[in-house]
């Protein structure tokens, strides 16, 4: 016996996703960062993960990979080996949210991460769209790039440090450039390297 119009209508409604209140109350969380000795602490790591509704281990793995360092989850905090500017940690958090939380079709955060034949899919409960998760901004240099003191290179300034210096990234390295602004492409000379941090001066 064929389904009635009412039955077909009910089935159709079950296939329609509806936005939740999450999008209405969602506010991009601000990273609270402190330096303790030779480590950097994301004090509200657990809070950020809860707000964006993502698994802490997945979130942490992403941050460690982007920073090119080791670390651990310590209660509600995330601890990273090395000293990193709060602006850089904040940028990493924003990038994660853009890649793994916000729907690229409707711009809402009502999404879930699901596995489909080993492919990680971002599925939106608000508009029903889905896409494979992949980095939107691929690195131009391989992660294994090695910098040397005295080298002269071109860098793209991505953000500003707390002191007002420009911040750029080359592979695993974070470079500080005085008197540079986000969006600029500048030529610099590497003056000193400490771990993953590189200090520079403008090259002529």
CA 65 to chain centre: 10
Pick from 6-10, 94-98, 114-118 the range whose average pLDDT is largest: 94-98
- Residue recorded with tokens 């940690």: 89
Rounded (10°) angle between helices 86-100 and 45-52: 20
What are the extents of the domains in the chain?
Answer: 14-132, 152-202
Give the residue, 14 or 6, on which the prediction is more confident: 6
CATH classification of 152-202, choosing from 2.40.50.140, 1.10.10.10, 3.30.530.20, 3.40.50.10490? Answer: 2.40.50.140
| pLDDT digits 0-9 by tens, 23-34 | 455 677 789 999
| pLDDT digits 0-9 by tens, 156-169 | 988 877 677 888 88
Report the alpha-carbon distance of residue 28 to residue 39 in Å, rounded. Answer: 25
Question: Which are the contacts of 163, defined by CB distance < 8 A and separation ≥ 6?
Answer: none
Question: Quick one: pLDDT at residue 71?
Answer: 93
Give me the CATH topology for the region 14-132: Defensin A-like (3.30.30)
Question: Quick one: pLDDT at residue 187?
Answer: 93
| Four-residue CA torsion sign, 47, 77, 137, 183 | positive
């Amino acid at each position: 016996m064929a389904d009635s119009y009412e039955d077909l209508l009910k089935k159709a409604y079950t296939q329609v996703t509806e936005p939740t209140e999450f999008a209405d109350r969602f506010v991009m969380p601000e990273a609270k960062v402190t330096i303790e000795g030779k480590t950097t602490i994301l004090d509200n790591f657990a809070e950020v993960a809860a707000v964006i509704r993502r698994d802490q281990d997945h979130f942490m793995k992403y941050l460690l990979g982007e920073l090119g360092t080791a670390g651990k989850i310590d209660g509600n905090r995330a601890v990273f080996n090395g000293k990193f500017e709060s602006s850089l940690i904040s940028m990493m958090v924003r990038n994660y949210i853009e890649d793994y939380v916000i729907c690229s079709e409707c711009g809402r955060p009502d999404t879930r991460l699901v596995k489909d034949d080993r492919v990680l899919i971002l599925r939106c409960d608000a508009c029903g769209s889905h896409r494979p998760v992949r980095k939107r901004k691929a690195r131009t240099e391989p992660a294994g790039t090695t910098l040397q003191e005295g080298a002269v290179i071109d860098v793209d300034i991505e953000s500003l440090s707390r002191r007002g210096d420009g911040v750029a990234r080359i592979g695993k390295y974070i470079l500080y450039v005085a008197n540079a602004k986000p969006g600029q492409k500048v030529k610099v000379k590497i003056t000193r390297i400490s771990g993953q941090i590189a200090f520079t001066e403008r090259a002529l």
